[in-house]
Amino acid sequence: MRLIVEKFGGTSVGTVERINAVADHLADKHQRQESLVVVVSAMSGETNRLVNLARQITSNPAPRENDVLLSTGEQVTIALLSMALHERGVKARSYTGPQVSIRTDDTYSKARIREIELSKIRADISAGYIVVVAGFQGVDDGGNITTLGRGGSDTTAVALAAALNADECRIYTDVDGIYTTDPRVVPVVRRLDQITYDEMLELSSMGAKVLQLRSVEMARKHHVPLRVLSSFKLGDGTIISGTEKESHMESPLVSGIAFQRKEAKLSLLGIPSSPNALKVVFAAIAEANINLDIIIQNLGAHGATDLSFTVAAEDYRLCLEVVYSVGKKLGVERIEGESDLAKISVIGVGMRSHTGIAQLLLETLVDQGVTTKMISTSEIKISVVVHESEMDRAVLALHTAFHLDDEDEVNSSNVLQIA
């Protein structure tokens, strides 16, 4: 029998009706002799409700107690889904993260999974049960409840699939797969049949919200085939697996376009030549808990260094204050800043072995009258920073330029399919 781990997000179990629909789906799979481990999130809106309750008590809840509170949302869902399965004559047993047990470190609100005790799950599967596990939560070595952060149920599902050596991990959500870009920006988007772990990691890190980044990292590390499907309509979804070496050479050069609004750029021009100058700048920024994204360093006039980087727009004012302070001490010639920017990234493993991608990207932006503020490249990604007001136009044009409007290009029959 195939062993499948299936995860259902908050919208998929958001009402009693939706829970009953999931139970019908699972009962049908069970009848077809599939062994199932099911991971569920809290019902949609429940986590926000719990957060708001805590805020009515205190503006600074104790991290331990906050995790105890937030973990209760999933406990409701696993019990209701198990009850719904019982009503359909299906044996089911629910477990919280601590009951399994999913062992984590002791970092509240963003704990990382260390190990999973599988004896209960394996025994229940052998006895013909559907095992229903609460996502998003675990327990540390001290017996304290921990949570894995927003989207943590994805990570729970992948971790269980890896530990159990499952045939596939299926993530059911409110979209029916991974698309070439956001349909709210480009009206003619295409669903990808298949995408590599590396491409999905880049899409997730660049702003795509379909999967939690940590879950993709874990799937890649443990070679877990991931499939993203819709809970609301039938379809094969998108399979995430493999590497470029496992794909055929005719795969599309660019698989998708990701973007992030609300970016800002800062430049320190004429940093005096000194072994410690850049170290001082980056240390000051890190001390302010500001994350940098694109970083570009150039040798300026008379041996001085020019440094530019991007930050989230919400960190712009603070970062400007930090670099002005440290720049004054270092004797930096000029500091420039600009907000209201956006980052666009074209992503694809096919870019590694093909030239001309950057040329086409820049020509397309020039033709659209879009000014490129910064550009950064890696093996499977090219990112550009543009003014936010020009972002939608740029994404639309790039989507067409890289033939992502063409279904035959995107869903190529030459792409390796892993069922």
Q: Does the annotation list 173 as a binding residue?
A: yes
Contact predicate 39/156, CB 8 Å: yes
Furthest-apart CA atoms within the chain: distance in Å: 79
CA distances from 327 to 29, 306, 333 (A): 63, 12, 8
- Contact criterion met (CB below 8 Å) for 346 and 382: yes
* Under 8 Å between Cβ of 149 and 109: yes
Answer for the pair 244, 196: CB distance below 8 angstroms, yes or no.
yes
Q: Is 155 marked as a binding-site residue?
A: no
Coil/strand/helix, residue 144:
coil
For residue 4, the SS3 value is strand
- Total length of the chain: 419
197 assigned ligand-binding residue: no
Residue 5 annotated as part of some ligand binding site: no
Q: Is 8 annotated as a binding residue?
A: yes
> Does 209 appear as a known binding residue?
yes
The answer to the question of whether 112 is labelled as a binding residue is no
Helix, strand, coil in percent for the chain, rounding step 5: 40, 25, 35
- Judge whether 300 is annotated as a binding position: no
**Is-cis flag, bond preceding 101, omega within 30?**
yes
Classify each residue of 241-256 as buried b or exposed e, where b means 16 or more C-beta atoms within 10 Å of its C-beta: bbebeebeeebbbbbb
CA-to-CA separations, 300 to 73, 306, 309, 385, in angstroms, rounded? 55, 6, 16, 21
Residue 228 assigned to a binding site: no
What distance in Å separates the CA atoms of residue 123 and residue 251, rounded to the nearest whole number? 42
Is 122 annotated as a binding-site member? no
Q: Give the residue ranges of DSSP H helices in 275-315.
A: 277-287
Q: How far is CA 298 from the centre of its chain?
A: 32
Of 143, 158, 242, 250, residue with least CA distance to 199: 242
- For residue 40, what are its two tokens? 């569920």
Among candidate residues 47, 100, 52, 94, the one with its CA nearest the CA of residue 71: 47
User: Could you count the other beta carbons within 10 Å of the beta carbon of residue 303?
Assistant: 8
β pairing state of 194-195 and 137-139: unpaired
Would you say 159 and 152 are in contact if contact means Cβ atoms under 8 Å apart? no
Query: Can you say which residues are annotated as belonging to the binding site for substrate?
Result: 47, 74
Query: Can you say which residues are annotated as belonging to the binding site?
Result: 7-10, 47, 74, 173-174, 179, 184, 209-210
